[in-house]
Amino acid sequence: MGKQINVALIGNPNTGKTSVFNQLTGLNQQVGNYPGITVEKKEGICKLPRGLKAHIIDLPGTYSLNASSLDENVVIDLLLNKNDKDFPDVAVVVSDAENLKRNLLLFTQIKDLKIPTILVINMADRMKRKGISLDIELLEKKLKTKIVLVSARKGTGIEELKEQILNYQKISSEPCLNASDMDPEYFNLLRKTFPNQALYKLWLVITHDANFGNIDRGTLTKDANFNTKSVGDLKRLQQKETILRYQFINDLLKEALTINLKNATDLRIKLDRLLTHKIWGYVIFSIIMLTIFQAIYDWSTIPMDFIDVTFASFSEWAKNALPTGPFTNLIAEGVIPGLGGIVIFIPQIAFLFLFISILEESGYMSRVVFLMDRIMRRYGLSGKSVVPLISGTACAIPAIMATRNIESWKERLITILVVPFTTCSARLPVYLIIISLVIPNKTYLGLNLQGLTLMLLYLIGFGTALSGAWILNKILKLKCKSYFVIEMPGYKIPIFKNVALNVIEKTKAFVFGAGKIILAISIVLWVLGSYGPGENFNNAEEIVTLRNQSENISEKHLKEEIASFKLENSYIGIMGKGIEPAVVPLGYDWKIGIAIVSSFAAREVFVGTLATIYSVGSDEEETIKKRMGAETNPVLGGPLFTFASGISLLLFYAFAMQCMSTLAIVKKETNTWKWPLLQLVIMSSFAYLVALIAFQVLK
């Protein structure tokens, strides 16, 4: 096997970089984090001609190498550190045919680092329609590189790109610009002081003060009269650098780029006017959201029922097929029902991400961000807060990380604090099971009531986030300047491959991320529910039989009585009874109390916990929904899951801060435990209060 070529995929946001990455790597990709920080790292393997392979890293989108955020620092850290195992043999800069001028700024900077660099001009299929024509030969000559015209949407140009990657050694590593033009005297001094370092690389190291330790200070000549410049002077030089680069790019594009405006259609302008209209914009957004929530319910009923029945049968099969004993019971009553409680929600979660991906891919999401900026401002947030708030519907963790591009610290802090109110996918299993138990599956004015309730819960989450932001904006006495700039990408028909990969990746992350926790909690809960201290637990059979001696009850009923008595006297039963006084006023029993406590680790654990608790000692093959529906309230009698207790539970989960990972990430992003602890106390107390009021009013 030959050497693997390291390729760094770099580009401005919205250039279709990830689409090119998907085309190159297909399913051979994995998503992780950069060590020590929470910036997402996407890497994959691409098969090249002649049996060679390339290791491709999809770096975070950046407009230039003058970093201003953590994401952008990742790009620079990698490009400046030759010792990094991912240091690229070749850089592939992805640009967009419509925004070539802006994209070339980044390209020239990377080229000046003397790394062989290929320029990919993406969305080439739209050039004709937009009236764009390029003199590729001239561009290649002046930029001293190889250019590949690609349409990631249609998959064209990918093979040529692979060929260029394979032949990267033939690409010139000569820089585009002479860095010393910025300040000849200063750069000559730099060259003398660090004779073995590339000049532009030195410049980047100095301006970012990043990786300064990577430079061997022993290389400093003893008599070097080297003085560092002030931050202000460095900023001025950076500005000069940008001006010089744009002069070069403007001169180049004057010759190499022609745009025939007559050919450009004005459909985008018309669509923008409609979708960002101050009334119609919101109406269209509401209709789209309503359709999504209706579809989530309608389309996923059949696969959900199938999964539920399959897991119940699987559990029954395990019990019969494996040798009798506690370990078999652990598998049949603990592990399988617990996992079933998460797998059952795959269809809904996949549909939710399918719709979100389509909205993002089509370019509509940027219009939503723009539209929402008008509302956000009133609540002390920025238009950029919409991205975290919408991402929060998937998971609060990446959403909190996405706040890094909000320039104002106050707006960023407020966004971090309110994001956990938005309905994340972990709440979805709780909502779906409770809604199906307490809201009738009927239609009203053509709308499914269960779907409407789900949408209402999403609106409650979003509304609470906004109200919370408004309050925090009044309380927090931080004065920061804020501005809002967003790029509106062109409208595109979503690429199926991108949407599919996104859905698979997000669903996989949800199932495997939550699955491990649920599996562990299911095991712990089963053990705590199957063993107990004292006489009552050990002699449960005798005690219950003795109690029911005078009554003529069936064997099945007696078995159920024994199982119930054992559970009540198990470790978990004792713990549950301990917290019962706190949850009874909310309409719950001790089993729900235990599920709430265990779901402090992660919300989605709730359903798995109940599935495990209800399965302990049960011989019946039943679905989770049936088991929950059959539970009776020990205090009030009648079904446990009534309209009142169901609504109370839904509202509790809508407001409670039940996610340890979110607390950890808030601590990390704010550098203090103050904010996550405040979040935990305030959100949980508020959730308890609202749930209490709801149950007491509705019961």
Q: Which stretch binds other proteins (CB under 8 A): 268-276, 285-293, 522-530, 535-543?
A: 522-530
Q: For other proteins, which stretch binds (CB under 8 A), given 23-31, 168-176, 512-520, 683-691? A: 512-520
Min separation Cβ 289 and other proteins, Å: 31
Pick the binder of other proteins from 83, 228, 549, 671 (CB under 8 A). Answer: 671
DSSP, res 568: H
Of the ranges 31-39, 372-380, 498-506, 636-644, which one interacts with other proteins (CB under 8 A)?
Answer: 31-39
Pick between residue 101 and residue 667 the one whose CB is nearest to other proteins: 667
Place of tokens 């998907």: 22
- The rounded distance, in Å, linking the Cα atoms of 53 and 499 is 25
514 CB-side CA count, 13 A: 35
The count of chain residues that interact with other proteins, using the rule CB under 8 A, is 45
Q: Which of 306, 104, 99, 82 is nearest to 216 (CA)?
A: 82
Footprint on residues 457-486 left by other proteins (CB under 8 A) = 478-481
Task: Give 310 or 405: the residue with its C-beta nearer to other proteins.
Answer: 405
Phi, psi of 410 (to 5 degrees): -65, -50
Beta strands in 155-306 (DSSP E): 257-259
- Please give the single-letter amino acid code of residue 610: L
Looking at the Cβ atoms of 280 and 327, the one nearer to other proteins is 327
What's the rounded Cα separation, in Å, for the pair 239 and 244? 9
Which ranges constitute the DSSP H helices of 144-183? 158-166
Contact 687, 654 (CB under 8 A): yes
Of 668, 492, 469, 567, nearest to 14 by C-alpha is 492
Q: Name which of 301 and 538 has its Cβ closer to other proteins.
A: 538
Q: Which of 14, 131, 667, 684 binds other proteins (CB under 8 A)?
A: 667
Task: Name the residue with tokens 């590593």.
Answer: 173
What residues contact 167, with CB distance under 8 A and at least 6 apart? Answer: none
Q: Are strands 257-259 and 447-448 parallel, antiparallel or unpaired?
A: unpaired
Among 30, 68, 258, 260, binds other proteins (CB under 8 A): 68
Using the contact rule CB under 8 A, the part of the chain among 49-57, 295-303, 350-358, 669-677 near other proteins is 669-677
Q: Are strands 90-96 and 5-11 parallel, antiparallel or unpaired?
A: parallel
| Cα separation, 332 vs 322, whole angstroms | 9
Residue owning tokens 């604090």: 417
From residue 92 to residue 131, the character string flagging contacts with other proteins as x (rule: CB under 8 A) and all else as - is ----------------------------------------
Q: Which is nearer to other proteins, 271 or 660 (CB)?
A: 660
375 versus 478: smaller Cβ distance to other proteins: 478
Does residue 326 belong to the site contacting other proteins (CB under 8 A)?
yes
Q: Which amino acid is at 351?
A: F
Q: Is 516 in the site for other proteins (CB under 8 A)?
A: yes
Q: Among 29, 95, 648, 670, which residue sits at the site for other proteins (rule: CB under 8 A)?
A: 670
Q: Does 318 bind other proteins (CB under 8 A)?
A: no
Among positions 224, 234, 289, 330, the unique one binding other proteins when judged by CB under 8 A: 330
Q: Which of 31, 37, 488, 692 binds other proteins (CB under 8 A)?
A: 37
Q: 651 Cβ partners below 8 Å, 6+ apart?
A: 460, 687, 690, 691, 694
Contact between 207 and other proteins by CB under 8 A: the answer reads: no
CB 644 to other proteins: min, Å: 32
597 binds other proteins (CB under 8 A): no
Among 2, 325, 446, 534, binds other proteins (CB under 8 A): 325
**Footprint on residues 418-447 left by other proteins (CB under 8 A):** none
Enter the tokens of residue 290. 């309503």
Site for other proteins in 381-410 (CB under 8 A): 404-405, 407-410
Q: Which residue has the tokens 């107990």?
A: 532
Q: Smallest distance from the beta carbon of 230 to other proteins, in angstroms? A: 15
Nearer to other proteins, 120 or 602 (CB): 602
CB closer to other proteins out of 210 and 543: 210
264, 131 Cβ separation under 8 angstroms: yes
Complex with other proteins: residue 408 or 570, whichever CB lies closer? 408
Quick one: which of 257, 527, 584, 682 contacts other proteins (CB under 8 A)? 527
CA dist., res. 16 & res. 94, Å (int): 7
Q: Is 533 in the site for other proteins (CB under 8 A)?
A: no
Give the shortest CB-212-to-other proteins separation in angstroms.
11
**Count of beta carbons in the 10 Å neighbourhood of residue 271:** 15
By CB under 8 A, tell whether 69 contacts other proteins.
Answer: yes
Nearer to other proteins, 4 or 405 (CB): 405
Residue environment code for 277-309, b if the CB has 16+ CB neighbours within 10 A, otherwise e: eeeebbebbeeebeebbbebbeebeeebeebbe
Task: Say if CB 226 and CB 220 are below 8 A apart.
Answer: yes
What's the min distance (Å) between Cβ of 580 and other proteins? 24
Indicate if the alpha-carbon torsion angle 597, 602, 607, 608 is positive or negative. Answer: negative
Residue for token digits 């000069």? 240
CA distances from 355 to 295, 400, 494 (A): 10, 21, 11
**Closest to other proteins by CB, 204 or 650:** 204
DSSP secondary structure, 510-554, as one string: HHHHHHHHHHHHHHHHHHHHH---HHHHHTHHHHHHHHTSSS---
DSSP strand pairing (90-96 vs 117-122)? parallel
Residue 419 near residue 395 (C-beta atoms within 8 A): no
Give min distance, CB of 475 to other proteins, in A: 14
Among 257, 471, 543, 660, binds other proteins (CB under 8 A): 660
* Nearer Cβ to other proteins (478/693): 478
Residue 232 in the binding site for other proteins (CB under 8 A): no
Where on the chain is the footprint of other proteins (CB under 8 A)? Answer: 35-37, 68-70, 73, 209-210, 323, 325-328, 330, 404-405, 407-410, 412, 478-481, 516-517, 519-521, 523-524, 527, 601, 660-661, 663-664, 667-672
